[in-house]
Amino acid sequence: METSEQISADLKALLTANHTCFEFLNTYKGVPVICRAILQKVEKQMAYFQARTPEMVMLEKAKTTQILSEGLLEPIVAHIASFDSHTGKVELIKFAYAGSRLCNRKELRVEPGDPIEVALECDQKTCNGHLADISMRGIGARVAAKDECLFGQNKTVSLRLRLPEGEMQTSGRIRNISYPGDQVRLAIEFTGAGPEKTLVVRYILSRRSEIYGELHQILAEYEKFR
């Protein structure tokens, strides 16, 4: 039985057992947001939910969500087939197990507000990119497609960026390369140690507070106009 079909069968079994309480996990600028939902029906490899909390607004622009429940052996990634922000009705399809992606999603990482330039050096060649997100373990950096040839998976890079709290310079290893849009995204894990980590902690905490403020405002506006 294919994975999506098997997961659909598992969800149907949970519904039959009257296990209907689930959570959807999405992120807003890197900050995890949980929305509670009730499973109402499963048929033809599609699951129908009723979202219950204002956090469902995160589903409006999302293409996927992660389904969490104590009744599931592991978290599930699902594509959002449709979402009605007025009624909270959600239809999910194309299920797959989240695996290590959930660990990456739950790690505290934030996206910058204003653009932050990142200077990268690899094999004595340099280029400039922009910070996509940052965590205690590393950064995501976007570089132009023309600079892709400078980088390879598992290569060591030197990086320098100026956070509001100060300039940091350290080393890292490229753990993943992806291609969103017309840019190249590098996932870089920090390998250097030193006081720079203090700058990262301060920035993450400060930026997280800003994002939570934005999120609370979005949820308040959403509730006002429902």
* Tens digit of each residue's pLDDT (9 = 90 or more) over 26-44: 999 988 899 999 999 999 8
Of 14-18, 104-108, 156-160, 219-223, the least confident = 104-108
Domain ranges (residues) in the chain: 3-106, 109-210
Question: For the domain with range 109-210, which CATH number is right: 2.40.10.220, 1.10.3720.10, 2.60.40.3680, 3.30.360.10?
Answer: 2.40.10.220
> What pLDDT is recorded for position 35?
95
The tokens describing 189, both together, are 């894990």
Question: Looking at the predicted structure, is the pLDDT value of residue 200 above 70?
Answer: yes
Task: Give the DSSP H or E segment for 212.
Answer: helix 196-225
| Cβ-Cβ contacts under 8 Å for 216 (sequence gap 6 or more) | none
pLDDT band at 206 (very low <50, low <70, confident <90, very high): very high
SS3 content of the chain, % helix, strand, coil (to 5): 30, 45, 25
> What pLDDT is recorded for position 100?
54
Average pLDDT over residues 102-120: 80
| Cβ-Cβ contacts under 8 Å for 161 (sequence gap 6 or more) | 116, 117, 118, 119, 131, 139, 167, 168
Q: Based on the number of CB atoms within 10 Å of its own CB, is 73 exposed (0-12), middle (13-18) or buried (19 or more)?
A: exposed
pLDDT band at 223 (very low <50, low <70, confident <90, very high): confident
pLDDT band at 107 (very low <50, low <70, confident <90, very high): low
> What pLDDT is recorded for position 25?
93
| Residue/partner pairs of 31-36 with CB below 8 Å, 24 or more apart | 31/110, 31/208, 31/211, 31/212, 31/215, 32/105, 32/106, 33/58, 33/215, 34/68, 35/59
> What pLDDT is recorded for position 161?
93
How is residue 60 annotated by DSSP? Answer: S
The tokens describing 185, both together, are 């995204």
CA distance 47 to 40: 8
3 state SS of 20: coil
Instruction: Give the chain's mean pLDDT.
Output: 89
* Tens digit of each residue's pLDDT (9 = 90 or more) over 149-199: 888 889 999 999 999 989 999 999 999 999 877 889 999 999 976 667 788
In which residue are the tokens 């490899």 written? 45
Question: Looking at the predicted structure, is the pLDDT value of residue 101 above 70?
Answer: no
| Domain 109-210 in the same topology as domain 3-106 | yes
CA distances from 104 to 51, 101, 168, 192, 210 (A): 24, 5, 23, 20, 21
Question: Looking at the predicted structure, is the pLDDT value of residue 49 above 90?
Answer: yes
Average pLDDT over residues 140-149: 90
> What pLDDT is recorded for position 192?
73
Question: For the domain with range 3-106, which CATH number is right: 2.40.10, 1.10.540, 1.25.40, 2.60.40?
Answer: 2.40.10
Q: Is 184 within 8 Å of 176 (Cβ atoms)? A: no
> What pLDDT is recorded for position 226?
65
Question: Looking at the predicted structure, is the pLDDT value of residue 73 above 80?
Answer: no
Of the candidates 105, 37, 46, the one whose C-alpha atom is nearest the C-alpha of residue 75 is 105
Of 97-101, 109-113, 148-152, the least confident = 97-101
